[in-house]
Amino acid sequence: MLAIIGGSGLASLGTLEVSHRQLLQTPWGEPSAALTFGRIGKRPLVFLARHGDQHSIPPHQVNYRANIWALSHSAPLAIVAVAAVGSIRPDLKPGDLLIPDQIIDYTWGRPSTFHEWPDSAVTHIDFTEPYDRALRQRLLAAAKASGTTVGDGGVYAATQGPRLETAAEINRFERDGADVVGMTGMPEAALARELALPYAAINVVANYAAGRAASRQGISIEAIHEVLAASMQQVQAIIERMLSSDD
Ligand code: HPA
């Protein structure tokens, strides 16, 4: 079964035939929302709204451990995370989609491991490739088959939020090698890896990052919401295609 974590602009999946919802308690507290189980076509799917059903949980307060733990206990084979990003690269425009292949983590103070003293031994995970290689390929193939253009690869800078960045911060991220910036990619990806769950992301470019192109004079939050609303059709098309070819 595929799990989808929906971010800003994707609080539900339009084509999902819902069978039931389940609010799980986890050793790490409550997930952002009840898990929504259902089908797209013949394929089962579980959906979780990262920011809660009412979009009320900011990125730094999302209970990433509870979310990943709850999903891992609903028997998913893989997690596809959908997340809005700002674009640092001029060729990545609002409305574009990207399947990133790397992460730089600038977040701080977020509980970011399941392995904590005194309940667990020190545990290190390999995170050389933060996104699952095979799952990325499946997303790219599904995008191609559904006629949706997506960028293949890119470095996702995970920031703390909830404020947007300064222009100087974006310049720094670019010098570091980042292509896009978002607030929720970490520790989500690392926690999935700790539980050995294949995890990959679809990034939806909502805006040019601070100080760049049309955002030189500032970023319009309304414009971000409009772009996200318009782009989610494409995200759904990729997910539907992925499920229909998931034999
Ligand atoms: N910065 C950080 N996160 C974001 C942005 C941004 O510009 N746009 C959408 N999510």
- For the chain, what are the domain ranges? 2-244
Cα of 39 vs centre of ligand 1, distance in Å, is 31
Neighbouring residues of 180: CB distance < 8 A, sequence distance ≥ 6? 85, 86, 87, 88, 89, 92, 98, 100, 154, 155, 156, 157, 203, 205, 209
**What's the mean pLDDT in 82-91?**
97
Atom of ligand 1 nearest to the CA of 164: 1
| More confident position, 50 or 7 | 50
Q: Distance (Å, rounded) from C-alpha 32 to C-alpha 51?
A: 6
The conformation of residue 29, written as its DSSP 8-state character, comes to: B
pLDDT higher than 60, residue 235: yes
Atom of ligand 1 nearest to the CA of 182: 3
Average pLDDT, the chain: 95
Of all protein residues, the one whose alpha carbon is nearest to atom 6 of ligand 1 is 86
Of all protein residues, the one whose alpha carbon is nearest to atom 9 of ligand 1 is 85
pLDDT higher than 70, residue 49: yes
* Tokens encoding 211: 């100080």
Closest to 45 (Cα-Cα) out of 30, 60, 35, 55? 35
What pLDDT does residue 114 have? 97
pLDDT higher than 90, residue 15: no
Report pLDDT digits (tens) over 195-216: 999 999 999 999 999 999 999 9
Report pLDDT digits (tens) over 132-157: 999 999 999 999 999 999 999 999 99
Q: CB-side exposure of 177: number of CA atoms within 13 Å?
A: 9
- pLDDT band at residue 228 using 50, 70 and 90 as cut-offs: very high
Which residue from 207, 231, 232 has its CB within 8 A of the most atoms of ligand 1, so it is best to mutate? 207
When the candidates are 3.40.640.10, 1.25.40.10, 3.40.50.1580, 3.30.465.10, the CATH number that belongs to 2-244 is: 3.40.50.1580
| 181, 167 Cβ separation under 8 angstroms | no
**What's the mean pLDDT in 79-102?**
97
Which residue from 8, 170, 183 has its CB within 8 A of the most atoms of ligand 1, so it is best to mutate? 183
- pLDDT band at residue 79 using 50, 70 and 90 as cut-offs: very high
